[in-house]
């Protein structure tokens, strides 16, 4: 499986809300760089992060463009997030079902056919302005 095929499966599982399939694409020691936040390590930490995200947000990604380097060890994605803010997330404005549309991107490291690093980026100020 190429890096772009791996990421197609990753984003398809995300959009389907299939967390077991989504998490199965990650290495056990996956590194997750949270947008404007901390670095977390391990599939369990990522699963806990996704539990919180799925409680606070409902998101669907569109216009996904995938790129990979020649040997498939690195990849990138650009996409548009269509979301709804469902429940208060700590340190952010109160949630009351606000919707948002946000361009975003992600960078990946691929090892042994699994996602080994995910670094997500989006404009938090834009998001706050849309839901605030």
Q: What's the pLDDT band for 36 if we cut at 50, 70, 90?
A: confident
Q: Between β-strands 26-33 and 99-111, what pairing exists: parallel, antiparallel or unpaired?
A: unpaired
- Put simply, whether the predicted model's pTM sits higher than 0.75 gets the answer yes
Residues of the chain with pLDDT > 70, as a percent, come to: 100
Domains of the chain, residue spans: 3-131
Amino acid 49: pLDDT = 96
CATH 3.40.50.720 at 3-131, yes or no: no
Bridge partners (DSSP) of residue 58 are 84
Q: What is the pLDDT of residues 83-130, one digit of tens each?
A: 999 999 999 999 999 999 999 999 999 999 999 999 999 999 999 999
Amino acid 37: pLDDT = 87
């Amino acid at each position: 499986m190429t890096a772009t095929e791996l990421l197609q499966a990753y984003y398809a599982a995300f959009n389907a809300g299939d967390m077991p399939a989504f998490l199965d694409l990650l290495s056990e020691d996956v590194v997750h760089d949270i947008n404007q936040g901390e670095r977390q390590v391990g599939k369990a930490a990522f699963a806990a992060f996704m539990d919180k995200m799925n409680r606070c947000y409902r998101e669907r990604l569109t216009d996904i463009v995938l790129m990979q380097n020649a040997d498939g060890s690195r990849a990138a994605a650009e996409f548009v997030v269509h979301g709804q803010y469902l429940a208060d997330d700590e340190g952010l404005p109160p949630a009351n079902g606000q919707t948002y549309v946000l361009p975003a991107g992600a960078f990946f490291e691929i090892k042994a056919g699994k996602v080994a690093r995910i670094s997500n980026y989006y404009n938090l100020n834009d998001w706050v302005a849309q839901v605030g």
